[in-house]
Structure 1
Amino acid sequence: MHLELETKRLLLRPLELSDADAMFTMDANPNVHKYLWQKPAQNIEESIKVIEYVHRQYKENNIGRYATILKETGEFIGWTGIKFVNDLVENGNTNFYDYGYRLSESFWNKGYATEATKFWLDYGFNQMNIEKMNAYTHAENGASNHILEKCGMKFMEKYVAEDGINWKWWQMINNKK
């Protein structure tokens, strides 16, 4: 996949193995994992495996999470994007499009997650013609829940995952279909 996209402040491109160091730094931070099963990365091999997994998604599903780069500095700030979930069941669902993001803590509260979310929802509906986009967030992650709501996703229900954690299920329907 060689598709490069951009917003006003962000470059969005497929993840590359060269992103592994920055991704590991992000995923090793316990604050980043507060609402993500609280399992920070322990070594760079974990980040490499994630990138390899995403590369398989690009090949199999023609979409996956993208490296998100700050235009002004060229810094990797995290990943954002659409994923086709067909290898697990979440809230009783499989074979669905999921929007998600993860940013390094130093880039929180600057509007980047909102900017990327608006872009990817528009891209999914208008370029990919997705009928419905889903997302799920930790029930207590106020910032991410706020961003999804602000960007037009509708809260559908709370559910308890297999690990006993409360999550929120979000959805947005493509009104142009």
Structure 2
Amino acid sequence: MVFQSERLIVKAIQKIHKKEFVELLTAEEIIKAIPQNKPSEDNIENKFQLALSFNGDIVGNSLSLLGVFEKNKEDLIGLIGFLTNEEKNRELGYRFRKDFWGRGYATEIAKKMIEYSFNVLKFEKITADVWVENIASNKILAKFFKPVKEFYNEYDNCTDRRYELLKNDWN
């Protein structure tokens, strides 16, 4: 286990989680909210292998993908990512399977990711990017972060909003 919240556990995924992992990367309603094109099978396999190879070193890796699980259950319900963006800032990301939307899990996991980033990983600043039209994620991020800019995301062909939070503003 990497960390936990009141209802959720974040830990490395295993091979048995591949079906849910693929769903998290390909389900229409999930990727439409980002928005992204459906990834290729090679892209999915590469991300799955990256997630399987998690070695516990979030600080040293430019991308770490971890699974989100309800306590006392084995099904993978979501993914979180700790990544490094193009400005070399540490960025947080999350997504959940549609069956788990509307339960407050995204807010709960975002808060714990922030606490973990500052208290354990010792980051001084964290960011999060979200499509401006993804109202639900914008509401969640606005609870904790400050919006700092909007920009055209060429990769996803959309306008994103970047949120930022400094450690000094969190404590």
Question: For this structure pair, what is the TM-score category when the shorter chain's length is used for normalisation?
Answer: 0.7 to 0.9
TM-score by length of 2: 0.84
1:74 maps onto 2:74 in alignment: yes
2:136 pairs with 1:136: no
Partner of 1:6: 4
CA RMSD for the aligned pairs?
2.4
Please state which structure has a larger fraction of its residues in helix.
2
Where structure 1 has 5 or more consecutive residues not aligned to the other structure, the ranges are none
- Counterparts of 1:18 and 1:170, CA distance in 2: 34
The alpha-carbon distance between structure 1 residues 134 and 40, as it changes in their structure 2 partners (threshold 3 A), is: same
Tell me the amino acid that sits aligned with residue 69 of structure 1.
F
SS in 1 for 2:129: strand
Shift of the alpha carbon at 1:67?
0.3
1:162 aligned to which of 144, 154, 162: 154
* Residue 65 (structure 1) aligns with: 65
Moved more, 134-143 or 64-73: 64-73
Whole-angstrom CA distance in 2 between matches of 1:174 and 1:15: 29
Any conservation in 2 of the 1:30–1:39 contact (CA below 8 Å)?
no
3-state secondary structure, aligned to 1:136: strand
How far 1:72 sits from its partner (Å)?
4.4
Report the TM-score, using the length of structure 1 for normalisation.
0.82
- Tell me which of 110, 115, 127 is aligned to 1:117: 110
1:69 shift after superposition: 0.5
CA separation of 1:159 and 1:5: change in aligned 2, threshold 3 A: same
* 1:11 positional shift: 1.1
The separation in 1 between residues aligned to 2:45 and 2:38, in whole angstroms, is: 14
Q: Which residue of 2 aligns with 1:34?
A: 32
Q: Quote the sequence identity (%).
A: 22
Aligned to 1:49: 46
3-state SS of 2:29 partner: coil
Gaps of 5+ in 2: none
